[in-house]
Amino acid sequence: MTHQVLVGFHAVTARLRHASGSIKDIYVEEARRDRRMQSFIEQAQNAGCKVHPVGQQRLDGLAKGQRHQGVVALVEGLELAMDVDEVLDDAQGPAFLLVLDGVTDPHNLGACLRTADGAGVHAVVAPRDRAVGLNATVQRVACGAADTVPYLTVTNLARTLRALKERGVWVVGTDDEATETIHQVDARQPIAWVMGAEGEGMRRLTRETCDQLVRIPMQGSVESLNVSVASAVCLYETVRQRN
């Protein structure tokens, strides 16, 4: 079985909390003896995980250039959901999805997953050919959200959006040129927010498949927000309306 690499205190601690049984080995910097490291080692050992003190050079090799803070874990991948239908079948309450069309920066994906977890999103969906995988950077930035929010990559995004619409999900795309704003969306119904890549935005076919196009009201001089920030604004508009 191929193992994933998690780096840093946040990502590894989150996996300890959610699925400690999926952790094969934990490597820690043998020279670090501070309180944070000692507390982490105790937590890992209490969870039944094997902890190996090693030199920094070994950690650097395992982390492959990622900032590891003296903590690296080899873990099994978690299969949170097989497909969108499974997510919709298991969803508690109206469907709540985030669709990322062309977001390839791992820092942005990690931040989007973290926000999606906080807002209670049922799944994040992305096209397989225009998306970054759940690599070590994504896992670190997501601070554990990659272990709790299903991240589904699909072969044909437009087809997936049409399938969502057939199941009663309102598909809302964000577009800087739209006339309506996010506050004119009825987010209490089953909804999928579609965010495009920075600069390019959504692809044409994705845009044409949406039920509604809206923009985030901008009061200052900048034209748009970072995709992870824009996602947070839209997702929490849904949370506001539903609460």
Binding residues for S-adenosyl-L-methionine: 196, 216, 225
Task: Please state the φ and ψ torsions of residue 123, each to the nearest 5 degrees.
Answer: -170, 155
Beta carbons within 8 Å of 199's beta carbon, 6+ residues apart: none
Q: What Cα–Cα distance (Å) separates residue 44 from each residue in 54, 62, 71, 236?
A: 16, 19, 11, 34
Please give the Cα distance from 189 to 203 (Å, whole number): 25
- Burial, 239: exposed, middle or buried (Cβ in 10 Å; 0-12, 13-18, 19+)? middle
Q: Which two tokens mark 34? A: 């501070």
Helices (H), 143-195: 157-166
Looking at residue 157, what DSSP letter applies?
H
> Could you tell me the two tokens for 122?
């049922």
Measure the N-to-C terminal CA separation of the chain; round to a whole number of Å: 43
CA-CA distance, 166 to 178, in Å (whole number)? Answer: 24
DSSP per residue, 190-207:
SEEEEEEBTTTBS-HHHH
Q: Say if CB 175 and CB 209 are below 8 A apart.
A: no
| Binding-site annotation, residues | 196, 216, 225
- Cβ atoms of residues 121 and 92 within 8 Å: no
